[in-house]
Amino acid sequence: MGVAVESTRFHVLAVDDSFIDRKLIERLLKTSSYHVTVVDSGNKALEFLGLVGDHDDDDETDSEIAPSNHHQEVDVNLIITDYSMPGMSGYDLLRKIKESKSLKDIPVVIMSSENVPSRINRCLEEGAEEFFLKPVQLSDVRKLRPHLIKEKSTRN
């Protein structure tokens, strides 16, 4: 029980198509001592998590993504994603993560600049931990901690 939980060990994947919003959430997370990876689309998030780009036509230089002979272990403790993005919405990304055997336990938080109760409820019913209204505040980022710790302790 004497293991000190160091917040810098927590890795948060932030997904937002807006450059300014990405910079804001990245700064807030880094201020709270999280390790942050930022991507600008749902597809890039899935690629980073190892869900896509396996053996499809690899015309593009995907040298960073190693061939998945073994199960790729991406140590992400939480995903925070914008709701409204071109291509794949945050809701679609949430569903893909919750449907994936290897990723379904990663907590997902959705952010949106629109306060639409039906949208918020739909995301929470689909398994989102929280729904933040933009602009995201430091007080919102503090609400992430219990989800991270819960995730860390159940994953042994």
For 96-131, give one letter per residue: b (16+ CB within 10 A) or e.
bbeeeeebeebbbbbbbeeeeeebbeebeeeebbbb
The answer to whether residue 67 sits within a structural domain is: no
In 3D space, the residue among 41, 43, 45, 33 whose CA is nearest the CA of residue 16 turns out to be 41
pLDDT for the residue numbered 52: 76
The answer to whether residue 69 sits within a structural domain is: no
Query: Mean pLDDT of residues grouped by 10 in the chain (156 residues)?
Result: 56 97 97 95 97 51 42 80 97 97 95 97 98 96 87 53
The answer to whether residue 64 sits within a structural domain is: no
Query: What's the domain count of the chain?
Result: 1
What is the residue range of 104's domain? 7-52+74-151
pLDDT for the residue numbered 129: 97
Sign for the pseudo-dihedral over CA of 22, 110, 137, 30:
negative
The answer to whether residue 45 sits within a structural domain is: yes
Residue 112, domain CATH: 3.40.50.2300
Amino acid at 126: E
Residue 109, strand partner residues: 80, 130
The answer to whether residue 60 sits within a structural domain is: no
pLDDT for the residue numbered 148: 85
The answer to whether residue 15 sits within a structural domain is: yes
Running DSSP on this structure, what letter comes out for residue 136?
P
